[in-house]
Amino acid sequence: MSTSIKSVMALEILDSRGNPTVRAGVELEDGSWGWANAPSGASTGVHEAHELRDGDPARYRGKGVLQAVEHVRGPLAKAVIGLPARDFQQVDRAMIEADGTENKKRLGANGILAVSLASARAAAASAGAPLWRWLWPQKKKLLPVPMMNILNGGAHAKNNVDIQEFMIIPRGVGSFGEGLRRCAEVYHALGAILGEKGMGSGVGDEGGFAPNLSSDEEAMDLILRAIGRAGYRPGEEIVLGLDAAASEWMKEGGIYRTPKGGRVFDREELCSYWEGLAGRYPIVSLEDGAAEDDWEGWKLLTRRLGKKLQLVGDDLFVTNLRRLERGMEEGAGNAILIKPNQIGTLSETLEAVKLAQERSWGVVMSHRSGETEDAVIGDLAVATGCGQIKAGAPCRSERVAKYNRLIEIEFSDPTRRFAP
C-alpha cells in the first residue's frame, strides 16, 4: 500500500513548564501513524528558528500556540499531503517552501518540527522499524554517553547560581545502562549532601537540584563530594561538564556580567576564568563559554582551551549549517549542540550533524528546558551515532522518558555499541 501522507492533525498540549506547545500527528495511506511534540527553550539563542506564540494575554499569558496548530492543520497539511513520508527531505522542503521565511516565522518552527518528526515516525512505522534503526541506515548506530545535568542555575533555576548547568559524565563504562546507573547514584548522593546542609531539595527546569550557594565553584565542590560518596573516583570514573549560557551574561562593549552574582569579565578575563576552573576541576566539556555573537571571544576561547576541552556551541550555532560552517572557518569551538527545534526540521538537523561528523567535531544531542514525554532525541542520538546526549537529571518524567527510551533501545539490541 502507498506510504504517502494521507492526513495531518495537531493539538495544543502542555510542556514541562505548564506552557502550551504543539503536538502533530501524521497518518499514511497504508494506515501507519506517527506523532511528535515540539519542545521549547528558556535560554534561547536569537538566531533560532521562530517559535510561534499567539500573544493573546487572555490565554496562557500570551503563550498559546493555537495559530501554530491551525497552520499545521491548514497550509502545512496542504503542503505535505500526498508526499511520500519515507522521503523526509522532500516533506521538509515542502514545509519550508510553504512558510517562505528564513527562520520559519510565518507558519512557526514549532508546528513545522512537530510535523517533520511525526512524518518520519510514520514512515518508520510503515517500514516496521523503530525510528533509530530506520533513520540514516548507512550510519553506524551508537548508544550515547549521558551528560547528566544534576545541578541547575542560570535561567533554568530561581537561585543565585550563574552557570546554567553542572553535568556529570561517566567514563570507562561498558553500556548505556551502567553509565545511567552511575549518574543516578551520584544525583541521589548530591541530594543527600544538600539535605544534610539544610539546602532543600528543590529542582530546576531540567530536574537538577537548585540550591542557593556561596559561589558557582561550591556547586562543583559539592558534586565532587557526591561522586566520592557514591563510590566513584572524580576525574576518572566521573568527569564534569558545564553549560555557562554566557549569552545571558553579555553586555555592550564585549563585557560580561553574571546576572545573579554581578561578576564582571572582559573576554580575556572570562577565558582565564574558564581556564582556571578547568585546571582545578575535572572538566572535559564547556558549552557556551562565550556569547552567541561574540565570535572574537569564541576564537580566543578555542585558541586557549580548544586542545584541552570540548567547546560546545549552542546559542552560537543553533543547529544551523551556515553558522556551523562559519565557526569551522574561523576556529570558533570544536563541537556543536544539536537541538532540532532550533532549526525546525529533521532534515536540517541531520545536515548539521553530518557536517560536524565529517570534520571530526563533537556532536551532542540535546533536549530543551521545556520538554514533554516525547523521547525522540533518544532515537536521533542512536541513529546519528553522535555519542553524547543531554537529557537532564534522573528526575521529572519528561527527562526520564529519554533515558528510559535509550534503555529500551539497548535492551532491544544488546550488541549495539556504546560510546567510549
Residues marked as catalytic: 206, 339
Please name every residue paired with 286 in a beta bridge, in sequence order, or none if there are none.
Answer: 242, 311
Q: What distance in Å separates the CA atoms of residue 360 and residue 104, rounded to the nearest whole number?
A: 30
Q: What distance in Å separates the CA atoms of residue 156 and residue 154, rounded to the nearest whole number?
A: 5
User: Is residue 51 within 8 Å of residue 62, measured between CB atoms?
Assistant: no
Q: What distance in Å separates the CA atoms of residue 191 and residue 186, rounded to the nearest whole number?
A: 9
Q: Which residue has the cell 521565511?
A: 101
| 3-class state of residue 420 by DSSP | coil
Q: What distance in Å separates the CA atoms of residue 160 and residue 215, rounded to the nearest whole number?
A: 8
Please name every residue paired with 11 in a beta bridge, in sequence order, or none if there are none.
Answer: 23
Let me know if 384 is exposed, middle or buried by CB neighbors in 10 A (0-12, 13-18, 19+): buried
Q: Are strands 20-28 and 5-14 parallel, antiparallel or unpaired?
A: antiparallel
- Which grid coordinates belong to 47? 538566531
The secondary structure of 83-131 as a DSSP string is SBTT-HHHHHHHHHHHH-STT-TTT-HHHHHHHHHHHHHHHHHHTTS-H
Q: What distance in Å separates the CA atoms of residue 279 and residue 180, rounded to the nearest whole number?
A: 27
Q: What is the C-alpha R_g of the chain? A: 21
